[in-house]
Amino acid sequence: MQGISSKAANTLTNKYQYNSKEKQEKEFSDGFGLELLDYGARFYDAQIGRWHKTDNKAELYFATSAYVYALNQPTNAVDPDGNLVVFINGNHFGFSAPGASYWETKVYKTDANRSTIWNPRGGYLESRYFDREVQTQLGDNHTPRYYDGSVGGWHPIANSTVNGSAQGRIDEGYKQGKLDAKTIIDNLERDKSSGNIIETIKIVTHSMGGAYGKGFVAALKEYIKTLPVEQQKQIKISLVADFDPYQAGDITADPDINTTQYKHEGGKNILGMGWLANEDEKGLDKKDIKTNTGTSTDHSIFTFFCDISSLAEGIYKWNGVKWVKQ
């Protein structure tokens, strides 16, 4: 087994293991190093199971040490580095791992006149990031969270009743939302003077992730309802954007959340898979279902770059019990 693992001869060291955080090691000439995991906001020492600085949100957890990891519940909680847009990917078929890499593609580099130019580091290609462009459009530069809406990917359509059906993915999204709801709400950005929550929750899905997202949102709303009313008034799920949701006819948009479905005009290009996700979600008005403004009919998330500019958070009014979409 060692021969085909990361320990095999002539293989690069895998520095992204626990929680996919980069391991800082062997920085010094004698082979020793910090032996820490880089979480961005602070470093985690796996040798002692502690941080080397206090939690930036320590005032929310007076009953717990500010140096522990994930409230001492590492089996069912993560430290996301606070703040988020939630991205839920679709089926990845093993070609790209779920997470940030799902939303990255290579495109030809061009100058202002739209002519191809040479990039010494990568030929004529450069990376373009769907998730980053979404965050720029929404004015949210905080660290996002990523979920695998296909619940494993590879061959879910044929091989699994869990992710092969919309309801199966709704259920999986609900389960994960139940696990993460408290962590997500606790880490929303707060006003430094008042302590009130000032960040909204935005959820962007693609393909199979559309159904998963419905369950995830339901779990978040369920948890929010358990909080004091004054805190509920501070929390808004301000946008759900479903790009080409697979089996959309089997999912229903939440009537209280600004939801937009983006799809292609199906049937034009069978090879391009434009037929795969051209159903309409239940509960949406026609104005909330937008046919892709580009020329492609492919199912790929990267054929929707042109629609990012239309993303916008909804307008809501508090009715004394809950936020209602206007």
Q: For residue 158, name the pLDDT band (cuts at 50, 70, 90).
A: very low
Parallel, antiparallel, or unpaired for β 86-89 and 145-148?
parallel
| Measured distance CA(39)–CA(47) in Å, rounded | 15
Query: Around 276, how many Cα atoms within 13 Å sit in the side-chain half-sphere?
Result: 20
| Measured distance CA(248)–CA(261) in Å, rounded | 9
Mean pLDDT of 195-208: 91
Tokens of 171: 């259920």
The reported pTM is: 0.70
Which residues on neighbouring strands pair with residue 44, listed in sequence order?
37, 51
Read off the pLDDT of residues 38-62 as tens digits, 9 standing for 90 and up: 887 788 888 888 888 887 666 656 6
* 114 or 248, which is more confident: 248
| Measured distance CA(189)–CA(303) in Å, rounded | 32
Q: For residue 270, name the pLDDT band (cuts at 50, 70, 90).
A: very low
Q: For residue 143, name the pLDDT band (cuts at 50, 70, 90).
A: confident
User: DSSP string of 194-227?
Assistant: T--B---EEEEEETTHHHHHHHHHHHHHHHHTTS
Residue 117: its pLDDT value, please? Answer: 58
* Window from 114-118, 203-207, 257-261, 296-300 with minimum mean pLDDT: 114-118
